[in-house]
Amino acid sequence: MKTISENTCFGGVQGVYSHASEVTGTEMTFGLFLPVEAQEGPVPVLWVLSGLTCTHENAMTKAGAQRWAAEQGIALVFPDTSPRGEGVADDDSFDMGQGAGFYLNATQDPWAKHYRMWDYVAEELPALLEGQFAIDEGRQSITGHSMGGHGALTMAMRLPGRYRSVSAFAPICHPTQSEWGRRQFTAYLGEDEAAWARHDATLLMAKTGFDGPLLIDTGTADQFGDKLGTEAFAKAMAERRQPGTLRLQKGYDHSYFFVSSFMEDHVDFHAQALWS
């Protein structure tokens, strides 16, 4: 593993690191914030998954999460959103290819060779962090924005017992019925829609739900609101009687101005679960 940078941040350290990934077959980069408490021993961790077009850097520099994580003594992990580099399949559109891994394991060419972001975020990167940093693997929570919200919700519901809490900012909730989902799932996973269902938060909510606290914020002025499937997810929550909170924030759009406005709420929400 290589250290790209380390900066003192709210008494802790904001680092950026890279490593050779066996899962993706590429060099992968991630950000990791460790609060000062990590100098004394393992601390709880909140995974922060970014959205379309993003790298590890977007949430790390724009969400403002470090301030609140430092107050709560929580580590933050900022993974990349896809494999990258020469020889990695890409697409001219912003919502396919590099920067748009959708947190799944692709099964179709040319994507299957490198696009294994589910295994990377769920298995390989956690194992790497456990061996190198003061992270408490028994106390994990997950959040994400947009495509990252999709990843956070699907991982939380498909990996029972892994995460103590889940939250999302403007998540893609129903990709099997969305412009943000059907084209990408066809390309990455093929024509069998049964394979798509495992990556649809609304369908997973109807089938399994989440055994823990859940929080979602979406802006009423979100310019991509018609692609998110918020209403379908809310209906699935209600029909399942899923404990949780889904808030529509008046006037907010899809940007990091929205995310940073409510990041304190989300970090505090996760801290209650992680420290209980």
Instruction: Name the residues annotated as catalytic.
Output: 146, 222, 254
Q: What share of residues in the chain are helix, strand, coil (percent, to 5)? A: 35, 25, 40
Strands 135-144 and 245-249: unpaired
> What are the distances in angstroms from CA 262 to CA 49, 68, 151?
16, 11, 19
In sequence order, the β-bridge partners of residue 34 are 13
ω into 110 cis (within 30 of 0): yes
What is the distance between the alpha carbons of residues 37 and 43, in angstroms, rounded to a whole number?
A: 7
In sequence order, the β-bridge partners of residue 17 are 3, 30
